[in-house]
Structure 1
Amino acid sequence: MGTAEFFVGVDLGLRKLAVVSTSDGRINKFFDGGYVRAVSEKYQALRKRLQSKGTPSAKRHLKKLSQREKRFRTAINHKVAKEVVELVPAGGVIVLEKLKGIRKRVKVGKQNRRWIHSWNFAQLQRFIEYKAKAKGIKVVYVDARYTSQKCSKCGHISKKNRKGQAHFVCERSGYQLNADLNAGRNIVKNYLASLEGKSGHGEASPSVWDAVNRADVGSVGCAMHG
């Protein structure tokens, strides 16, 4: 497969910090958000403890804690961006989602709301951009609305397609897939649809989606380590 046909969609979220899916379905990589969420929760617990004390010493430690947490987030974003770019050959295309509304699209409970609102997704995308540019990889942005509700196989859109946070089952075709992986494939498809002058929100066009549907889901690697 030539690099001109190599498209990678990157879906960002809570359970999985990022999910990468290539246009032919042969490469699917998950960057688990569990580790970074657990660390963020520890920082939050320490922050509450220091804030409750309110002493000058606690305030100094609080400032240091914030700086340490910022460095942690930056390091994680660098790691994820590096591994995403390593998946793509020079001349390929990385398709990212426009971030407007991401915090509304990602449904979370109260305990995770602060985490999803504080994570710097824009920084992660910037890191992907400059690392990709250095390798000769194009980065484009697409509207990600409905990518979590749309079947990446047939294009049917429905809220009922989501069977929980992690599982996607199309009510029309019966196609089943990890929900984050399904969204990642739809991000690629929205870009391919835009090349044909379509919105990417409607039903599937075989001429647009053939490249994405050539293969079934292969093995999924987990790429976030403590």
Structure 2
Amino acid sequence: MELLRKAKLGLMRIIEKSGKWYAQISIEVPTSVTNNENIMGIDLGLKVPAVSVTSTGKTRFFGNGRENKYIRRKYQQRRRKLGKLKKLSAIRKLGNKEQRWMKDQNHKISRQIVDTAIQEGVSIIKLERLENIRKTARTSRKNAKNLHSWTFYQLQQFISYKANLSA
């Protein structure tokens, strides 16, 4: 509630999703600038979704890449099996469960990273640049699917917006 009191109201949109109506309200929150020299670097990866290292030398691992890979493989196999059986309505029922699960994982990981940054007194979080990783990375056919379904950009965006709100 404190955040809403400080915020400047923006646009409001009313949308319908799955038969329910939602109001989306954007807000603008002022950010504060700190002069602390403590920096945290974040390395994103497939085996370990995020690793943080602070300028004081503390290292922390976030997330479980094996679990992410298992869930993705499970949903892919389920879609393939249903597709072979021509059960398209069952595939539609599955919907975007995999995407929602990954989004939830990214939210949890980003929250843990920002909370760690606050605990360590970090003022700057540096993220790895991965813009052309899909073009430049050399992988086997087996790992190409993992690389191309990797949601690193979403995780970067979540870390960025949560860090800005916590500033």
TM superposition score normalised by structure 1: 0.53
Structure 1 residue runs of 4+, over 3 Å off?
Answer: 104-109
- For 1:182, the equivalent position in structure 2 comes to none
Q: Which runs of 5+ in 1 are unaligned?
A: 137-226
- For 1:72, the equivalent position in structure 2 comes to 101
Q: CA deviation at 1:106?
A: 5.0
Aligned sequence identity (%): 35
Which whole-Å deviations, capped at 9, do the CAs of 1:5-29 have from their partners, x for residues lacking one? 2211111111111111112212332
- For 2:161, the equivalent position in structure 1 comes to 130
- State the one-letter code of the partner of 2:43: D
Q: Is the Cα–Cα contact under 8 Å of residues 7 and 92 in structure 1 kept in the other structure?
A: yes
More relative contact order, 1 or 2 (CA 8 Å, 6+ apart) = 1
Q: 1:28 to 1:104 in 2, by over 3 A?
A: farther
Q: Is the Cα–Cα contact under 8 Å of residues 21 and 29 in structure 1 kept in the other structure?
A: no
- Aligned length in residues: 132
Say which of 118, 124, 143 aligns to 1:93: 124
Alignment of 1:171-186 (within 5 A): none
- State the one-letter code of the partner of 2:99: K
Q: 1:125 to 1:45 in 2, by over 3 A?
A: same
Structure number with higher strand proportion: 2
Q: CA deviation at 1:84?
A: 0.6
SS at match of 1:25: coil
Distance (whole Å) between structure 1 residues aligned to residue 94 and residue 40 of structure 2: 36
Q: CA deviation at 1:72?
A: 0.5
Q: CA deviation at 1:51?
A: 1.4
Q: 1:14 to 1:108 in 2, by over 3 A?
A: farther
Q: Which runs of 5+ in 2 are unaligned?
A: 1-33
Distance (whole Å) between structure 2 residues aligned to residue 72 and residue 59 of structure 1: 21
